[in-house]
Structure 1
Amino acid sequence: MNLNRISWSGLSALAVASALTAGCGEKPFAKVNGQVITKDEYISALEQTLAVAGPNGAVPVPAGRLVLEQLIGRKIILAEAAAQGVVPSDDDVNKAFMYRKDMLEQSQPGKTFEEELQKQGTTPEVFKDNLRAELAEVAVLIKQLNVGNDKVTQYYNDHKDEFGLPARVQLRLVLVGANTPQFAEAQKKLSDPKNFTEQAARELNIIPQLKVSGGLQVLANSALPPSLKDKIQQAAPGTVIGPVDWPIQGGIAKAWVKVDKKLPQYNVPVESAAPIARQRVILQLQATGDPKFNQIRNEIIKKKFDATVETSSPVQETIWKAVKQSAQDAGLDKPPVTPPAAPAAPGGLTAAGGMAPAPAGGAGAPAGKPGAAAPK
């Protein structure tokens, strides 16, 4: 039987998991032209669908297994945090949420975090629930590793560029090929700056991404083409520059550039960034192969596979047995005799397969650094 193959982030999988655990009554899951799709049909299809997991998203994993393992892991880590008295506060969850929201909206003008969550089929409330589990995982490790606030603050001070955005400029671009009919059309239409509208940018651009965005780009000052950097930075908002040469992949395009606004450097204060900074400290310890980190990590993962899991579904029981067997094969069901010298593979209790908390990302992370989407 051919299985579908999709790529899911931990956020998307947990969003589906949350949806599956809510409203499990007898009502139809959905209707298509009046024909009923039952929840059982949906879950069965989910169990047969392959997601891709692993550090590079290259390992096919049944989506049903991914969701089940994440739900179980989330319960285990929240219980462990409660036992150690480190369940994340609402304030910490809200700070982590606002950090992701602010970073996305600052880096992608015109988009809202809530709209991006909706596109991924989730809500702020579900996202915050998943954040709580993610932060609980970090809190348990922070306590076990005796990481004090001074170390978190030091990390923030040493990596301030990670907790904000550089000075940027918001532009509207039209890129066309030189000596082409599109160039002649753009030159004629944009000779009057008043004609440089979002709609015009959609119609004239040869770059698909710019057609979709109406030419809107936010670039760090350092990412501007060197030959135009000073001119763009000195231009007043509303100024149209062009036609000028603009580097793109594989050559040079002719460009008209409208300067929309200048955006100052944006920094998240240490108080607001603290939950994210704690995450980064833990990721740093993992990356350096800290022996104590690996020992604690494996001990917590063992608790996951030692947990008593009861289900009324034979399919889910079989899936969980397969998960535990994989853990046994990898040696994760036994407490480490000596701490491993190298860090274990990424993944975690709240993410399928391992322990590492996700860095600021998923729906709340910017799609890329300012300028990453610009034509090269």
Structure 2
Amino acid sequence: MIPLRYLIGLLLVLLLVGCEKKTAESSPVLLQIDGRTVSLEEFRRQFEKTLPPGHSLSVEETEDLQRSFLVQLIDRELALAEAVRLGVVLAPEELEAMVAEYRRDYPEGAFEEMLAERGVSLADWRRELEEGLLIEKVVRQAAYSDIEVSEEEIAEYYQSHHDEFDRPAQARVRQIVVGDEQEGRTLLEALQAGEDFAFLARNHSLSPDGEDGGDLDFISRGEMPPEFDEAAFSLPVGQLSALVKSDYGYHILLVEERRDALRLSLEQAREQVRDLVLETKQDLAYQQWLQDLRSRAAIEVNWSLL
């Protein structure tokens, strides 16, 4: 898999950037990649879509973001061109499986409404997703295919990074967050009467984890507001909290499990260590692969236009 931060960067570049479109005569050419062009007008239009609504960025901040966006755009186009050169294609069932995964937690029609609010058509979103998945596939095949992690590398990393595997005391917590105290009390009464916590979280919680039934997974002290910590680490397992007020609203907590503090042994940490070593190797391989693509491509950027 592409390291997450790189995949996010690639997916931020919305599709249809215009590399295969004729540049409008009224707009100067900003970028050329092996003869394909992107106009300044088209670049700006796509760049604006990546900015948060109502943003108030300084000129310097905007210029920095534009340059970063342009680099991402170049890397994206190089990766897509390499997929064509190598004959890497995305099977229809691969795309449909990911579409279904994205839509899984949305009621009928809600996904389309979300896209409409963002000014994105379903067809454009599907094309963007398809290109992102194709990029991930070509990177996996072309850059990551020879990467392996040996037992010696796992043991060496573990011995050199002992402190990373000190696990503090943790609690697995579910929460419901609402903005109104009376609503919180009503929900608490419903829970005390036997209503399902996950069901109420999905239907009432303002927090993003509400989609997962309020499941925060395991948390350690200091990760949440102090009021939250006090309740989460004093409640008996299986007991509901009283209504907890924080700057985010009114919380109802349920502690499902606890873990004592410990240092993970090599066996306990093996998969975690392997993933860390693998990610480091993939980061390096991905950068080397991109550098090779850049060295073989004819790229011209008129930086003075930004």
TM-score norm. by structure 1 comes to 0.39
TM-score norm. by structure 2 comes to 0.46
